Chains A and B, each alone.
Chain A
Amino acid sequence: MFGEYAQVASYFGQNEAVEGDGNMSYPPSYLLPTFNAANPWSNEHNSKHGTHGDFIIIAEFSEIEGPKPLLTIPSDGGHGFDHNAFSVKIMAVDHQTSTTGFSISEDTQVILTDSGEFEVCAFVHHFALYDHEARGFVRPFCMAYVTKEERKLVNFYEEFSSQFRKVAQFFKYGNRMCFVKDLERHSKDLEYTKGVLIGRFNKPMPEQGCTEEAIYKDLQHIQSSLAEIRDILVILRPLLNDKRLESRFHTLESRAWRESNKKDKLDSLSLQEQWFTERGDQPASKYGSFNDAPDNPLHLFEKIHAYSPKLVEMKKKKKFDRTLRSLHELCSWGAKEGMKKMRLIYEHFKREAMILELEREETSLLDPPTSVLSCGQCITHNFLSGLSLRPADCPALSFPADLLQRWSSIDTLEGSFGSFKSVVSESSLTSAQSNDSFMLASEGFCDDDTLFSQPSDVEKSSPSVVRTDSNLSGSSSMTESDTMPSVYESCSNSPIKTPDKTMNDDITLDNVETSSLEQTSDIPEDNSVITTESEITITTCNSESQNTSESDSKLTDSSVDSIPDRGQMINSSVDSIPDTGQMINGVYIDPPSSDKNILRQYSEPDDTTDTTPSSEGTRLTRKPRGGIYTVGDLLFNLRYDSPGIGVLQVLNKYNNIQHIIYSILTGRLVLVVGQAKHEMEVIKLVTALSLFLPNHRRKHHAVVEWSSKPFRLTDLPRIKIAGVCRTEKRSIESVVKKYCSIIDVDKKVIIAPTYQGTLIHSIISKKKCFKIDADFIAFTHCWFMEIAAKAFIFYHSFCLGSTNIISHHSSVACHKQQYCNSVKGFITKLGIHEGDSPIIEYFAEIIKLLQIDQTSLPIDEGFKVSPVTLSYQSCQMFRC
């Protein structure tokens, strides 16, 4: 401080000299700004203050030494940074606000910027710990997150604030437990000493030179100390009420006991951190060991040694030559937990502000979880995020009659269930029912919608359901195809009263929108049908899908099994709906094998519960993430097996890879086949290609890097890309071959449907532009986002919109043609090449399936139904 005078004086000396020259037109230079162009990589190039990244520093105001740094996270954090000077700066202020008696002071949090000496910004959390050996029982500490990016601290202030409060809570709680224990021991000492003194008082021994007066004084002293301790305990004890933390500490301690009993693992749980200052063998450092003396402060819970009180030396004056206890001794297990938490904080926030912001922005896409579209484990879009499907928010929606009609099947659930039952009761139930069941399962949601929608003003007449189940009886004997025989035609709709949620009298567009959404989503579901003439739709149960080569009867059985569940489900969800007539106006189509007609449109609503204000929706909310990263996070944590690693090499090495990428992007299984000697190559291909895999979450195991087991049709539902080992005996079953695309590493050929679009070429053409995979991956995720935006429009405007309304009076074949044409027309309007249309449709399809998946989840436990669409497409062989 005093050095400043000289500095000021010298400054003014210069200044006056300037003014003496008569140059009055300019103010002193310190008042004018300087032009500094920001350096985007200042962290890397700033040599003046070290090249450190972010770090956390813990400092204390020692009553002996003043402000001093204790430790940093990471241990070498802030290389080239003056920790001592910085500690002085942040610990210069006494943050305790109390002026009288013992009180609990709240923590203070500070953001400070320093553009002079340190050129850093810091988030500082000040807190005080109690130490019965310290002056005033108080030891001020602080922890500071030091960074060069100010906006990180401000933009994430709330996160920093709450996280550091949690850390401080660990420290303080552990500390209070220790402190209370210390005080209790101390008061035992005092009581004991008091007893001794009283004994002396009663039997004065003049030869020892103890006067009565002195003893009396001591006794008074003890009495006041005891009262003081009592007061403190009265304040502190009620604060020790966090059972959760205590049990956490207790667990840690008992684990430490167990460990300490193992001879080889002595001290493995020592609390000692790596100290910032080198203290090596100094006595203080040994305090951290758990195996120290039984009365060491780390033993919060174990009471194996009864405490024997000691005589307190009353005349002793406070000496400041003793090292005070370390942070770990003060807080015991609280410090252990606090440090752990702090390391997590560091790991989280050490990333660039840009990445953190990107992460925050993209994390918002994870809600609602039922409509998240991801590609290569990276979030791409959420088709329902930020949408408001509540009626009140859509006041402008008009109520087109055709929409309502189209949607009418949805609101009359029970009827459809009834009709379904009738199907079940028929002896001719065939394998096709699996598809039925699927339909019903998905109808399960629609009751949700119906609850919200009240088509009371819709005048629909009698509840007749006209069912044209042409192939219901006869479709059973297809080899690998299941038929979905029931073709419903909706003729009428009936007003429905929903007892629960009937507060709302008006039909809201919103509902209409929702329902239409559901309908639309169906359509893309059948995209395979649409695009290819021959296709098979299988519904598999519980991922144990039937091998299609199995007998029909088996298949039928399984599907029949599943029916009661669904029935229940529907019943439970629909019981509030009166028994009015209803219809399903969708038309179920079955594969060409069974019937001539291809599916047009069947109405099974998707789940929109998450977006509607139903309690169901909130209950279903999954924990976000689920193996999906944001782009910044993904690239920050690239590992050797992250999706897309090696992609540039693969793209450069293999020709005609666009056909394979096209297969991946349309949901067709891709097998990478090679002999065992090519295992590495196969794995590399699988890893690289998994970049393009939509909705690939880790837990779904859609990617198999290398499998030496034969690949069977039953694997189809869950696996999307697999590396397969070719052996002499086994090759891929011909049945599987039909439904997958193959890269043969040995023969250097690709067998896949021909890609005729342009989108994939545009990304492959960039393969020479990027030097490293990470850059290419980042660019590819932008590309995915653009495609997803198109799919979003397709989903909302075509699938859910009015574009695809098809008259109910035409034949199924006609429907199909109409549908294909309208898809083609719409996609072309979006500026998408016709050849890319299946990609867009598949993206929309994914969302629909997700919603079905989500809705069926809580109802059929352990009996999840996932529809599988296999499409036979003619393949070509390409050299690669």
Chain B
Amino acid sequence: MDKSKSSRRLRLTSRNDQVGIMKFSSETITGQNPGSNDSTPLSPSSMFTSTELKYIKHSFINAILLCHWDNILGPRLYHLWKIQNVPPPPVGVLRFLTGQILSGEICKELDSNSIDFKFYDMPDKLILVAAFVFSGRLDRDVAIQSVGFVIPNSELNLYLKYHNLLQLCFRRLISKFRILLNKVSRPEDVLNEFSSWLTICLEMLSSLTEAGLPQQPRLSETAFCPHHNLEPDFLYRCITSHLMTFGRSLVVGKLAERVNLVISTLALFNSENERATSRLVDDDKPWAYHHDLCVQGLLKSQHGAITLPIREILCSRYPTTIIDVQNRDVKHSPYCHGHDIKNYQVLRNELLYLHQNNMEEPDMSNSVFQKVQQTSYLISNLIDEISKLSADCGIRVAHVHQFMRLLNRRAFSLINYVETETLKGSISLKGGLKKLRQDLSLTKDGDFRIILATAEKCKPGIYHFLLGDGKLVDFAVPMGEII
């Protein structure tokens, strides 16, 4: 018996592609026809446009999709961004992905401002997809839309390291993109604008490959190596502030070597994923500041001048320490709670200005940054301890790692304490912060901030709970030492 005939019954599972679909083979808007070689027949609405993003040296992203839920056709691929020199997946796969990303979203509320995230791992297609689903205006309608990043399966580890950074970057871009969509303008303009933003983002990711920090910290590149010297007091202030600002720092200076020394030193205090999203400076490649890179640098001009990207700094998820290596100056942006409010305002204003076509956003003053005044017993003790250890065999680096474990454990202890004292936040802290700091031996302001910042990473919201507005202490006022 004929084999093909015999398996007819089994084909019931597959879709019948032939029914009701008109074959279409005209040019797409960009003059390309990505689907022409594909076996799947196309309807007129199956067309999509595409753009190529250029001058990106290293990209672990293969392609970027923009798709939406069409009320008649269902999931529809609308635009494809290809990366120069990176072959995009076949169109059939892209269409399949479109369906995957959007199919579960038909019930999503259109008037929600949330941007949902999805991540697909499809081993049989050898790809991963990180997708953001949101509602946005389309023609005169509001529809569910999605931007999806297609990544080869082999880059899973890299993706997981970059996950937090990508979330922050792309959520910001997509918020802006939605504003553009909402303004009545030609779709090409919107896409062009978005393309330029994407390019900036991908360039930043590419720079991480070029000037990222080594996965394993090397002592020889840090200030803890006896070959380098950095004033202990300056180092002390840098580390204290760096840890108070959640391990986020911007290092500026004239000499790349000195800047990189500080960057490498501070990155010792960051987790592996945070190190992966940190960047050294390079004399030849003046990368701009990018928000939410953990530790990064900027080089001053010949005359020693630099304009701090204040607005961008405030766009970051966490506060940032700004270190001027040349002047030995260490400042930081407002602490967690104050930063959260500023961060919200800046991001919101950015959207408003975009909506109003107001290109000139008001300048922000340097005054948002404060000098580091806090003292920390933990850090001074650490620096002292490190000086007593041999510089070989990774002993010093191991000691720093152990120090970070200690911080985590103390943060854990603090969280436990607060949970017991406040019945998991249902009542306010009896005895106040002063008692907490005394009980937990955190009388030094710097120590308390450092542990609190560590705790905030473990348990988001606890900083706000303890030091938020209406709570015990105003964030802007230095709290002073408790004796």
Q: Give A contacts to B, CB under 8 Å.
A: 1, 4-5, 7-8, 11-12, 25-35, 37-42, 44-45, 85, 88-90, 92-102, 105-117, 135-138, 150, 154, 157-158, 161, 220, 223-225, 227-228, 231-232, 354, 357-358, 361-362, 365, 381, 385-389, 393-394, 396-397, 509-510, 513, 631-632, 635, 762, 766, 769-772, 774-775, 778-779, 781-782, 785-786, 789-790, 792-793, 796-797, 800-801, 829-831
Q: Which of A5, A93, A635, A774 contacts B99 (CB 8 A)?
A: A93
Confirm or deny: B196 has a beta carbon within 8 angstroms of a beta carbon on chain A: no
| Stretch from B233-241, B260-268, B346-354 contacting the other chain | B346-354
The answer to whether A386 and B355 touch across the interface, beta carbons within 8 angstroms, is no
Which of the listed residues A33, A136, A227, A785 has the most CB atoms from chain B within 10 Å of its own CB? Answer: A33
The answer to whether A778 and B416 touch across the interface, beta carbons within 8 angstroms, is yes
Main secondary structure of the interface of B (DSSP, over half): helix
Confirm or deny: B82 has a beta carbon within 8 angstroms of a beta carbon on chain A: no
The answer to whether A27 and B412 touch across the interface, beta carbons within 8 angstroms, is no
Contact A772 B420, CB 8 Å, known A4-B106, A796-B389:
yes
Contact A110 B120, CB 8 Å, known A93-B100, A93-B103, A513-B392:
yes
The answer to whether B398 and A386 touch across the interface, beta carbons within 8 angstroms, is yes
Q: Which of B340, B391, B409, B420 contacts A631 (CB 8 A)?
A: B409
A45 to B390, CA, bound (A): 50
**Residue contacts A-B, CB under 8 angstroms, 7 given:** A27-B182, A30-B110, A154-B164, A224-B5, A386-B398, A388-B394, A775-B413
Contact A361 B408, CB 8 Å, known A26-B352, A30-B113:
yes
Closest CB of chain B to A28's CB: distance in Å? 7
The answer to whether A387 and B395 touch across the interface, beta carbons within 8 angstroms, is yes
The answer to whether A101 and B1 touch across the interface, beta carbons within 8 angstroms, is no
Confirm or deny: B257 has a beta carbon within 8 angstroms of a beta carbon on chain A: no
The answer to whether B118 and A112 touch across the interface, beta carbons within 8 angstroms, is yes
List A contacts of B351 (CB < 8 A).
Answer: 27, 31-33
The answer to whether A785 and B121 touch across the interface, beta carbons within 8 angstroms, is no
Q: Which of A27, A779, A797 contacts B355 (CB 8 A)?
A: A27
Residue of A nearest to B358 (CB): A25
Closest CB of chain A to B45's CB: distance in Å? 18
The answer to whether B394 and A40 touch across the interface, beta carbons within 8 angstroms, is no
Closest CB of chain B to A589's CB: distance in Å? 27
List A contacts of B468 (CB < 8 A).
Answer: 37
A220 to B2, CA, bound (A): 11
The answer to whether B394 and A387 touch across the interface, beta carbons within 8 angstroms, is yes
B358-395: CB near A (< 8 Å → 1, else 0) gives: 00000000000000000000000100110011111111
Q: Which of A8, A98, A796, A831 contacts B381 (CB 8 A)?
A: A831
| Stretch from B23-31, B205-213, B305-313, B399-407 contacting the other chain | B399-407
A143 to B116, CA, bound (A): 20
A7 to B115, CA, bound (A): 19
| Stretch from B83-91, B277-285, B320-328, B455-463 contacting the other chain | B455-463
List A contacts of B115 (CB < 8 A).
Answer: 115
Confirm or deny: B14 has a beta carbon within 8 angstroms of a beta carbon on chain A: yes
The answer to whether B425 and A39 touch across the interface, beta carbons within 8 angstroms, is yes
A27 to B114, CA, bound (A): 15
Closest CB of chain A to B181's CB: distance in Å? 9
The answer to whether A154 and B10 touch across the interface, beta carbons within 8 angstroms, is no
The answer to whether B398 and A112 touch across the interface, beta carbons within 8 angstroms, is no
| Stretch from B47-55, B122-130, B294-302 contacting the other chain | B122-130
- Counting from the closest, the 6 A-B pairs by CB-CB distance are A136-B13, A38-B461, A769-B439, A227-B6, A40-B461, A115-B114
The answer to whether A224 and B6 touch across the interface, beta carbons within 8 angstroms, is yes
The answer to whether A29 and B163 touch across the interface, beta carbons within 8 angstroms, is no
A774 to B123, CA, bound (A): 44
List A contacts of B116 (CB < 8 A).
Answer: 112-116
Confirm or deny: B417 has a beta carbon within 8 angstroms of a beta carbon on chain A: yes
The answer to whether A225 and B9 touch across the interface, beta carbons within 8 angstroms, is yes
Closest CB of chain B to A511's CB: distance in Å? 11
Q: Which of A100, A107, A161, A357 contacts B458 (CB 8 A)?
A: A357
Contact A224 B1, CB 8 Å, known A26-B355, A27-B351:
yes
Contact A101 B439, CB 8 Å, known A396-B392, A775-B413:
no
Which of the listed residues A93, A632, A801 has the most CB atoms from chain B within 10 Å of its own CB? Answer: A93
Range class of the B interface residue count: 35 or more
The answer to whether B347 and A8 touch across the interface, beta carbons within 8 angstroms, is no
A670 to B268, CA, bound (A): 41
Contact A513 B9, CB 8 Å, known A11-B110, A108-B120:
no
B331-351: CB near A (< 8 Å → 1, else 0) gives: 000000000110010011001
Contact A224 B9, CB 8 Å, known A97-B125, A116-B114, A785-B409:
yes
The answer to whether A396 and B391 touch across the interface, beta carbons within 8 angstroms, is yes
List B contacts of A110 (CB < 8 A).
Answer: 118-121
Residue of A nearest to B16 (CB): A99
A33 to B350, CA, bound (A): 11
Q: Which of A30, A92, A389, A772 contacts B112 (CB 8 A)?
A: A30
The answer to whether B406 and A789 touch across the interface, beta carbons within 8 angstroms, is yes
Confirm or deny: B482 has a beta carbon within 8 angstroms of a beta carbon on chain A: no
The answer to whether A7 and B110 touch across the interface, beta carbons within 8 angstroms, is yes
Contact A385 B398, CB 8 Å, known A106-B124, A394-B393, A786-B406:
yes
Confirm or deny: B290 has a beta carbon within 8 angstroms of a beta carbon on chain A: no
Contact A781 B415, CB 8 Å, known A158-B160, A224-B5, A227-B3:
no
A841 to B476, CA, bound (A): 45
B125-138: CB near A (< 8 Å → 1, else 0) gives: 10000000001000
Which of the listed residues A102, A137, A513, A778 has the most CB atoms from chain B within 10 Å of its own CB? Answer: A778
Which of the listed residues B347, B351, B416 has the most CB atoms from chain A within 10 Å of its own CB? Answer: B416
A769 to B164, CA, bound (A): 37
Contact A90 B113, CB 8 Å, known A37-B340, A231-B6:
no
Residue of B nearest to A352 (CB): B459
List B contacts of A228 (CB < 8 A).
Answer: 6-7, 9-10
Confirm or deny: B12 has a beta carbon within 8 angstroms of a beta carbon on chain A: yes
Confirm or deny: B108 has a beta carbon within 8 angstroms of a beta carbon on chain A: yes
Contact A100 B459, CB 8 Å, known A32-B348, A92-B106, A158-B160:
no
B1-43: CB near A (< 8 Å → 1, else 0) gives: 1010111111111110100000000000000000000000000
List A contacts of B465 (CB < 8 A).
Answer: 39-40
Residue of B nearest to A5 (CB): B71
List B contacts of A361 (CB < 8 A).
Answer: 405, 408
The answer to whether B458 and A30 touch across the interface, beta carbons within 8 angstroms, is no
Closest CB of chain A to B369's CB: distance in Å? 22
Within 8 A of A (CB), among B154-168: 156, 160, 163-164
Q: Which of A107, A509, A766, A790 contacts B123 (CB 8 A)?
A: A107
List B contacts of A796 (CB < 8 A).
Answer: 389-390, 395
Residue of A nearest to B404 (CB): A361
Closest CB of chain B to A27's CB: distance in Å? 4
The answer to whether A354 and B440 touch across the interface, beta carbons within 8 angstroms, is no
Closest CB of chain A to B345's CB: distance in Å? 9
Q: Which of A107, A150, A354 contacts B412 (CB 8 A)?
A: A354
Within 8 A of A (CB), among B170-190: 175, 178-179, 182
Q: Which of B99, B118, B220, B464 contacts A37 (CB 8 A)?
A: B464
Q: Which of A39, A770, A800 contacts B439 (CB 8 A)?
A: A770
Contact A112 B104, CB 8 Å, known A27-B355, A31-B113, A789-B402:
yes
The answer to whether A358 and B409 touch across the interface, beta carbons within 8 angstroms, is yes
A537 to B334, CA, bound (A): 60
List B contacts of A114 (CB < 8 A).
Answer: 116
The answer to whether B113 and A33 touch across the interface, beta carbons within 8 angstroms, is yes
A150 to B13, CA, bound (A): 35
Contact A789 B399, CB 8 Å, known A97-B125, A354-B412, A778-B412:
yes
List A contacts of B108 (CB < 8 A).
Answer: 116
Q: Which of A115, A386, A762 contacts B397 (CB 8 A)?
A: A386
Contact A362 B405, CB 8 Å, known A11-B111, A40-B460:
yes
Contact A631 B412, CB 8 Å, known A8-B110, A386-B394, A770-B417:
yes
The answer to whether A231 and B7 touch across the interface, beta carbons within 8 angstroms, is yes
A92 to B124, CA, bound (A): 20
